[in-house]
Amino acid sequence: MLNGMIKTIAVLGSTGSVGRQTLETARHLGYGISELTGYGNPRLLERQCREFNVKKAWIAENNYVNLKTALADTSVKVVTGNEALCELAYETESDPVCNSLLGVSGLKPTLAALEGGHNIALSNKEALVEGGRLVTDLAKAKNLKIIPVDSEHSAIFQCINGGKPKKILLTASGGAFYGKDRNFLETVTPETATKHPNWSMGAKITVDSATLMNKGLEIIEAVWLFDISPEQLEVIIHRESVIHSMVEFDDNTVIAQLARPDMRLCIQYALTYPERLPSLTDRLDFGSIPSLSFAKPDEDTFTLLRLAKECIRKGGNLPAAMSSANEEAVMLFLENKIKFVEIFDFVEIAVTDAAYIPNPTLEQIMSTDAEARESIRRQIRSRPRP
Q: Is 176's pLDDT higher than 80?
A: yes
Which amino acid does the sequence have at 242? V
DSSP for 259-293, please give it: --S-HHHHHHHHHHTT-----SSPPP-GGG-----
User: For a pLDDT cut of 70, what percent of the chain falls above it?
Assistant: 97
The string of pLDDT tens digits covering residues 327-378 is 999 999 999 999 999 999 999 999 999 999 999 999 999 999 999 999 999 9
**Ordered structural domains, the chain, with CATH:** 8-148 (3.40.50.720), 152-303 (no CATH), 316-386 (1.10.1740.10)
What is the reported pLDDT for 40? 85
Q: What is the pLDDT of residue 151?
A: 93
**Chain centroid, CA 116 distance in Å:** 22
Mean pLDDT of the chain: 94
Whether the per-residue pLDDT at 52 is higher than 90: the answer is yes
- Quote the distance between the C-alpha of residue 74 and its chain's center: 32
pLDDT band at 2 (very low <50, low <70, confident <90, very high): very low
The pLDDT tens digits of the residues spanning 72-117 come to 999 999 999 999 999 999 999 999 999 999 989 999 999 999 999 9
Averaged pLDDT for residues 167-181: 93
Average pLDDT over residues 231-245: 96
At 171 the three-state DSSP class reads: strand
Residue 104 burial by Cβ neighbours in a 10 Å radius (0-12, 13-18, 19+):
buried
The pLDDT of residue 15 is above 70: yes
Q: What is the mean pLDDT of residues 5-17?
A: 92
| CA dist., res. 4 & res. 209, Å (int) | 42
Q: Which pLDDT belongs to residue 1?
A: 43
Is 247 within 8 Å of 169 (Cβ atoms)? Answer: yes
Please compute, for residue 125, the number of CA atoms within 13 A of its CA located in the half-sphere on the CB side: 25
User: pTM of the entire structure?
Assistant: 0.92
> What confidence score (pLDDT) does residue 3 get?
43
Residue 180, pLDDT > 60, answer: yes
Amino acid at 290: P
Q: How far apart are CA 17 and CA 47, in angstroms?
A: 16
pLDDT class of 384 with cuts at 50, 70, 90 = confident
257 confidence band (pLDDT: 50, 70, 90): very high
Mean pLDDT confidence for 256-270: 95
Residues 19-33 have a mean pLDDT of 97
Q: What pLDDT, on the 0 to 100 scale, is given for residue 382? A: 84
| The pLDDT value given to residue 31 | 97
Give the pLDDT confidence of 184-233 residue by residue, as tens digits: 999 999 999 998 776 667 889 899 999 999 999 999 999 999 999 999 99
What pairs with residue 37 in β-bridges?
12, 58
pLDDT, position 385: 67
- 309/315 Cα distance (integer angstroms): 10
